[in-house]
Copies of this chain bind each other. A is one copy, B any other.
Amino acid sequence: MKTAINLSEKFGKFSEHWSPKIIAQMNDYHFKLVKFQGEFVWHDHKDTDEVFIVLGGEMSIHFRDGDVPVRNGEIFVIPKGVEHKTSAKNECCAMLVETAGTVNTGDAGGEKTSPSDAWI
């Protein structure tokens, strides 16, 4: 039987930071939940825009020309190919929407790179 996906329930299933978990697929796009605190790495996504929807806490999206705060209940679209870095002073919970296979660090690599195919 079909049932809806409860976001709070899914957030309760993991605690690690910077490790997006897929919860749904729409055509060739993934909806992912992520928790994070601290500062990510500069990177971009050459082939896709990336959407952040903040569902708990507050984050900043840093661009080379300025920062954008994104608070609980807010959404922001990062255009493809635009270098950015996310950060959060306290733990932030967000939903990402982007093409399936998008790697969290783009081509930048490094220790915060996470599998792009982890469902929860």
Contact = CB atoms under 8 A, between A and B. Distances in A.
Interface in A62-98: 63, 66, 68-71, 73-77, 80, 97-98
A27 interface: yes
- Copy tally for this chain in the complex stands at 2
A40 interface: no
A77 B1 contact: no
A2 B63 contact: yes
5 contacts: A3-B68, A4-B70, A4-B75, A5-B75, A27-B99
Interface of A: 1-8, 23-27, 29, 31, 48-51, 54, 63, 66, 68-71, 73-77, 80, 97-99
